[in-house]
Each structure stands twice: as C-alpha cells, then as structure tokens.
Amino acid sequence: MPAPRLKLATTFTPARDGEALVYGIELTNLGTEPLGQFKLGINGPARIDTRSEVEGGVLLERLSNHSLFAPPPGFVLAPGATWTIAARGLSYPLRHWSDGANAAYVVLVDGTSVRVETAPTEATGSNAPLLKGAMRFVVPKKVPASISVIPWPEKVAVTGAAPVPPGLDLRPEGDDAVNAAGAFATLTSDLFPVEGIVRPAAEGGLPVRVVAKAGFGPEAYAVAFSETGVLITATTRTGMLYGLITLGQILRGATQYPDRLTFPTGGSIEDEPALGWRGTHLDVARQFYSTAEVERLLKLIAWSKMNRFHWHLSEDEAWRVEIDAYPALTSIGAWRGFGKALPPLLGSGAQPTGGYYSKAAIRQIVALGQSLGIQIVPEIDMPGHCYAALQSLPELRDPNETGEYLSVQGFPNNCLNPAHEPVYKFVETVIDEMLELFPGGIFHLGADEVPLAAWSGSPLALALLEKLAGNAMADKHRAQLNVVGNLHGADEIEGSATAVLQAEFIRRIHQYIASKGAITGGWEEAAHGNVVDKKTTYLVGWRSVEINAALAAEGYDIVVSPGQRYYLDMANSLSWSEPGAGWAGWSGPQETYEFDPREGMGAEQQKHLLGVQSCIWSEPMTDRAIFDRLVFPRISAIAETGWTRPENKSWARFSAFAGLMPIMYGNWADPQA
C-alpha cells in the first residue's frame, strides 16, 4: 500500500463584528486510498488555546504551539476529500503569515507517522505576495558621503580620489598587528571569497602598514591615507582589526561603485565607539543553527564592529550545550519529534530534529570570537524556560508536586524549583562546565517570564515561602494552583510569592557565580527582590525604555534591548505579508535605526548604560529566507547606534550604504519588496 499523500492548508480570520476569530485547518487527501483512524499534528508559532472551541475535530493534545487533533469517530478521509477544523480561540494569535502552521504530520492507525505538505497560512482579505529575503537598499546615484562605512566613524576628514586599488597588501608590524591582519585576511576571505581584498603587491595590493601606537582607547583606531599607501594605528589588536574593517568597507564600496564612491588619497579617519557593549543575541533553542552558521554570524557582526555575542543555549523547546555530568540533557533535550519527550515544535516535523554543540565546537567558536574581538556570553535560562531540561532530568522536580501551571508560551511546570536542593547541585555543575568553556567570565542566568503560579503545588516551595515571607503569602500562593495565568503576555510577578521564591533562587545562584570570579548577567526580571550585587551584575532591559531608565536609576548596569525596536524576530511592518512576530509591535529598518537607547535616561542613569543589543529570537526562523529578511539590515542599524554618537548618525547615509553589507544566507527580496 503506497504511503498517503496529504496536504495541509490553514487560514486565519480575525475577530470582528462580535464573532470570534477562526483558525481554519484543512487536510486534503491527495492519495488514492481512503484514510481512517488517524491523528493530525500541526505546529508553528501560533498557539491554540486549551479553552478554544474546536469544530470538526477533537483537540487531543496541546503543548505550546504543538496541537494534535482527531477527526470525529468513524470519519474516513476519502481520496480527493478535505477534512476541515475550525479553532475559535488562540493564546498566541496570528499577526503575520509566518505565525501559522508551518509543519504537520499524520499519525496512522499503526502508530507510524507521515509528513504532510504544508502551505503558508492565508489571511482573510489579504492577497499581497508573501515576503522573504533581505530588503534591497540600493546605493543612490547621488551619495551622501564619498566613502561607505557602517558604522559611521567619529571623525572623517578624507581627501582626494585614487584609482581604486584591486586589494590591500597588509604589512603588520608587531605581534598584535600580525594577529589583527591575519584575522582580517581570514574574515574577508570567508565573507567575500573571490574579491581578493587582501592580496600581495605582486597582484596589485596597495601597501597598508598596521602599527601599534600608545594612547588609543581599547577599540579606537586611526587610518591615514596617502597616495602611496595607508597607515593604520591603534593600541590594541581589536583596534587594529576595526581599522582594517573600515578600510575594507571603503575599498569594497569604491570597487563596486567607482562612479559614486571613492578611495581617498589623503586625510584621515579617527574613530572610537560611543558605547562599550554592542551585542547580538541568538536563540539557538527554538531553531538549531549549525556551528558553521554560528561562525558566519560572528563574522557578520564583526564586520559591523559588534563585540558581544549573547548565546541563548537553553529554552523550553531544547537544550543545546554538551554537559559532561548530565548527558541526558543532549540525548533527550536537544531533539524534538513524534514520540519524543519534546514533540514537534515551531516547524519541526515528526522526524527527529535538532542538535547541540559539543564542547569541541564551542571551543572553536569561542576562539573565532576572540580573534574577531567578540566576547561570547553564554546563557542558560533559569529558573523558568526549563521544560527541556526537566523532561531530560525529571529528578529535578519536587517529587510531591501536584497540579499544573503554564508559562506564557504554554509549557506546563517548566521552572526549576528554588526549594529542591538537587536543583542547586545541577545548576552549579552546569555553571562550572560553562565557565570552563567560556573564558570571558560572564554567565547569563536568564530569570525571565516565570509564571505567577509557579511552584504553587510544590510542598517544598510552599514551606520555603512560609519561611521567607510568612504563612499568609504561602496561603495566597496555594490558591494559585491550577489557575491559568495570562497566556497573552508574560505574567507580572513583582511583589508576588513567585517573585519571592525566584529571588531566593537568584540570590543563591548569583553568589555561586560570584564565588567563581564571574559576572552575572540576567534579563531585567533578575532585579526582582534586589538580591544581586550590582557591582557584579548587568541586566538586559527588554520590555520598555521606562524600565531601562528605572533600573539604571536604581544603579543596575543596563544593556538596552527593547522588544519594540531591537527584537529582530518582530516583523518589519504591520502587513500580513511580512514574516515575523508581532507581540511587541513592529520596527522597520528606519524605526530601528532612529531609536535612541538613551531615551528617558538622565546623565546619572546614562553612567549605567553599557550599550545596546539586538536579539534574534528564532520562533519565526523556520525558513532561512525569513532570517535574512528579519535580521538585515536592522542588525547593522543597531551596530551603528552602539558605535556612532547620536549627532553623527544619519538615516540617509546609513540607508545609502546598507545594501553593501553582507547578509547571512544570501536570500534577497525582489527589488520592489
């Protein structure tokens, strides 16, 4: 008997005129045999509410964005026929085409699974072409500057226009210069493999001396042009590398557009960053990225002079780092699929999907980052967002816990228990192994989005709560048992019993990290309870500029990353045809570029502003062409905000040269898109 051929189509009709929204699901039998006694699994960012009214079928299981349906008893899907389900109620609604189901499978009566061809979700009343690929920013005929550099330098005073040299003959002097030149040669060879940016004099390379000179800041440099060559000076290896990157960008622009852009024959560039932290975060749990992909992203952010890579290595959906003491974390927690501890989620099908980073791969990536002036900051998110870890190591749960609580993303009982001592042995062991892998001396512990009802059915947690905050607080928390929280947005837990318990967890973990001589990083929720030493902690502010300013006023060092502007999973506009998420709003390249991270901060608060960070959350990244559209050129816009002083920024100049920056996968949108 041939394997069934099936196709899934989904539609979305927003709520209107008193009618509830409708998420339509249609399964068509393209084969030649009837199909009965089957189940349909679908997944994608949209989440069907457990309280949703479902017509035409039965919702058997729902875990976050994974749903499993059965047809009515006795139903048979004949060849050419379509089975239709209507779900009225979503805990994560559809706003853009990529929100809908993007993977599906059918479980047959014998328990085997069959892949289902899945089409993009269509919205009622929207027929615009669906967009993918990075936006094309064309270099205009009349350019606003004679040289192309992103981020724009602090002082530019160049003159003349030489015939564009075919490449650069690097002549480093001293160990740091040799290392910087080697890193630049490798970087340009990898990003632009046939351009020959670095080449010897025998092939026409222009002499470029790279020389150490005292007195520069740690990332500062100067470039001096003459008719016979170029001189780059800096105090550090990173400064020398940044000078070379600036020169490489000027050369590429002048090579591609010699009628508009020049290679100077005189004058100089003097440059230094405005902010010390210029970061990019990558969530590798929702979608897995190979070592090669991570390395390419590091090279791309180095080309924009970013110097921090925040590596989000764990989530509810997966655990991605090898830990010798706990092999189950990767043998179980790194994989999703039909019949596994983690079901298909966010576009992963029935087949086993996922992966993890071996310690050898991590050391390779860390070494690359060091060569490019990038410090890698690992994150293991805790105590929330730990469903994958707890599925892998169920002994970390309170064995007497009852009831259920749900995270905002729809994962049940997904938080490490602050009152269960085995949890601390686990966390301390993970920290030890991570700090050995990542020599930068920072461990980011997450601390975001713990549900309001977390641990309300745990006798251990309730006993600890009585000890910390009294019987009344514990009784109040008991009443949260099996209460469904706010599934349309993260629970506000400030002042709650949950915040008290999380603060105790953070206090202990922070003390352990500090005992190892390391800095604690956290999302802004790590400030709950005010239990961390501000001298050895920094926070990433993600909810609003007001929270950033308030935390800075309290003395916390802040990295600004508001979801409304710097979360690169957010769509570029409100249009259904744009891919991406929409819970925090939207932000096109210009809106991202023009956001001021200092907004709402006075002079004293700005002393605690470490810098800025783009966050690449991966829920929508089921198609790498979506990645290119969402990340580029917005990541370069954030890089320029971190480097270039506000008075020197110019959207007209940035947008003129943004198209010269390389992208991740080479997926470009049509010119009109």
**Within 13 Å and on the Cβ side, how many CA atoms surround 210?**
29
Largest CA distance in the chain: 84
Residues in a beta bridge with 167: 205
β-strand pairing of 76-77 with 35-36: antiparallel
- Which residues touch 32 (CB under 8 Å, ≥6 apart)? 2, 79
pLDDT of residue 672: 59
pLDDT tens for each residue of 370-402: 999 999 999 999 999 999 999 999 999 999 999
pLDDT of residue 487: 62
Angle between helices 421-437 and 497-515 (to 10 degrees): 40
Whether 296 shows a pLDDT value over 80: the answer reads yes
pLDDT confidence band for 125 (50 / 70 / 90): confident
- Spatial separation of the C-alpha atoms in residues 458 and 453, rounded to whole Å: 11
Of residues 78 and 91, more confidence is placed in 78
Whether 575 shows a pLDDT value over 60: the answer reads yes
Q: Which of 92-106, 474-488, 522-536, 585-599 has the lowest mean pLDDT?
A: 474-488
Q: Please state whether the predicted TM-score (pTM) of the whole model is above 0.85.
A: yes
pLDDT of residue 484: 76
pLDDT tens for each residue of 475-484: 999 999 988 7
In this prediction, residues 65-73 reach a mean pLDDT of 97
Residues in a beta bridge with 558: 539, 609
Q: Give the three-state DSSP class for 600.
A: coil
Query: H or E segment at 6?
Result: strand 6-13
Query: H or E segment at 499?
Result: helix 497-515
Whether 3 shows a pLDDT value over 90: the answer reads no
- Spatial separation of the C-alpha atoms in residues 136 and 600, rounded to whole Å: 33
Rounded-to-10 torsion of CA 141, 144, 148, 154: 180
Residue 243 burial (CB < 10 Å; 0-12/13-18/19+)?
A: buried
In this prediction, residues 468-493 reach a mean pLDDT of 87
pLDDT of residue 1: 65
pLDDT confidence band for 40 (50 / 70 / 90): very high
pLDDT confidence band for 317 (50 / 70 / 90): very high
pLDDT of residue 474: 96
pLDDT of residue 623: 93
Question: Which amino acid does the sequence have at 222?
Answer: A
Mean residue pLDDT of the chain comes to 96
pLDDT confidence band for 2 (50 / 70 / 90): confident
- Which residues touch 202 (CB under 8 Å, ≥6 apart)? none
In this prediction, residues 48-61 reach a mean pLDDT of 93
Of residues 546 and 487, more confidence is placed in 546
Whether 673 shows a pLDDT value over 70: the answer reads no
Alpha helices by DSSP H, listed for 230-371, are: 237-256, 291-303, 328-331, 359-371
pLDDT confidence band for 88 (50 / 70 / 90): very high
- Which residues touch 52 (CB under 8 Å, ≥6 apart)? 59, 87, 88, 89, 90
Residue 179 burial (CB < 10 Å; 0-12/13-18/19+)?
A: middle
Q: Output phi, psi for 359, to 5 deg.
A: -65, -35
Evaluated on CA atoms 47, 50, 51, 52, the torsion sign reads positive
In this prediction, residues 47-75 reach a mean pLDDT of 95
Alpha helices by DSSP H, listed for 92-207, are: 175-191
In this prediction, residues 535-548 reach a mean pLDDT of 95
Structural domains of the chain sorted by starting position, each given as residue range(s) with its CATH number in brackets: 6-123 (2.60.40.290), 155-271 (3.30.379.10), 277-447+505-660 (3.20.20.80)
pLDDT confidence band for 50 (50 / 70 / 90): confident
pLDDT confidence band for 488 (50 / 70 / 90): low
pLDDT tens for each residue of 415-456: 999 999 999 999 999 999 999 999 999 999 999 999 999 999
Q: Give the three-state DSSP class for 115.
A: strand
Whether 579 shows a pLDDT value over 90: the answer reads yes
Cis amide leading into 120 (omega within 30): no
pLDDT tens for each residue of 594-653: 999 999 999 999 999 999 999 999 999 999 999 999 999 999 999 999 999 999 999 999
- Which residues touch 404 (CB under 8 Å, ≥6 apart)? 412, 413, 457, 482
Whether 127 shows a pLDDT value over 90: the answer reads no
Residue 291 burial (CB < 10 Å; 0-12/13-18/19+)?
A: middle
- Spatial separation of the C-alpha atoms in residues 103 and 232, rounded to whole Å: 52
Euclidean distance between the first and the last CA atom of the chain, given in angstroms as a whole number: 45
DSSP classification of residue 10:
E
In this prediction, residues 27-52 reach a mean pLDDT of 95
pLDDT of residue 20: 87
Whether 489 shows a pLDDT value over 90: the answer reads no
